[in-house]
Amino acid sequence: MKKNKLILFTATLLLSSVGFISTALADVTLKHGYIDKPPSRAFLCSSKGQNLNKNCGPVQYEPQSVEGLKGFPKDGPKDGEIASGGNAAFSALNEQSADRWHKVAMKSGENTFKWTLTAKHSTASWKFFITKPEWDVNKPLTRADFDLTPFCQQDDNGKIPTETVELNCNIPERSGYQVILGVWNIADTKNAFYQVIDAEFKE
């Protein structure tokens, strides 16, 4: 009888552990997001973005997972790895040339950016940066390429966002090919999510 009780207890404990681990893993893996308006580089790698960007590697299956250390521009991913968030799995995103990526037509002035979140997550802030007018389009992105003062920022102070988050931003005057970097800073972890947008500004 004691042996049967021991087996039953062990089985119950194992099932509880599996349930806890599954919940924990789901909690970790679902807390992601991407920019789909205007569509980001990672989003355009995916089937939802019609695979307009080619040869992207694994990010085509999970554009929501471009996650790295937060604190940009002081901290965060190192130069040359900004587009991938410093995540080696998504290093293809760091490739950079004048014609490597599909470009989205944009205009300076008032624009709306929409993040789609695959799960809600306590949020510190949303920030947007843009490349300088004369940045080098044929080299991987560095901090020197960006105006390091965000042109748009919203502080959420730990608030849990909805599944979609729209931010109205005033983009400074630009022309030609520019890159916009969106950063979603998480409040209760050391990480952030990074999305770059390849934008073509018309005169």
Q: Is 80 exposed, middle or buried (0-12, 13-18, 19+ CB in 10 A)?
A: middle
Domain boundary assignment for the chain: 1-30, 32-201
pLDDT tens digits, 50-67:
999 999 999 999 999 999
With CA atoms as reference, report the closest residue to 198 among 182, 179, 181. 179
% residues pLDDT > 70 (the chain): 84
pLDDT at 134: 95
With CA atoms as reference, report the closest residue to 65 among 33, 25, 36. 33
pLDDT tens digits, 93-149:
999 999 999 999 999 999 999 999 987 779 999 999 999 999 999 999 999 999 999
Q: What SS3 state is found at 85?
A: coil
Is pLDDT of 9 > 50?
A: no
Instruction: Say which CATH topology domain 32-201 has.
Output: Coagulation Factor XIII; Chain A, domain 1 (2.70.50)
Mean pLDDT of 151-169: 97
pTM value is 0.85
Cβ neighbors of 18 (< 8 A, separation 6 or more) are none
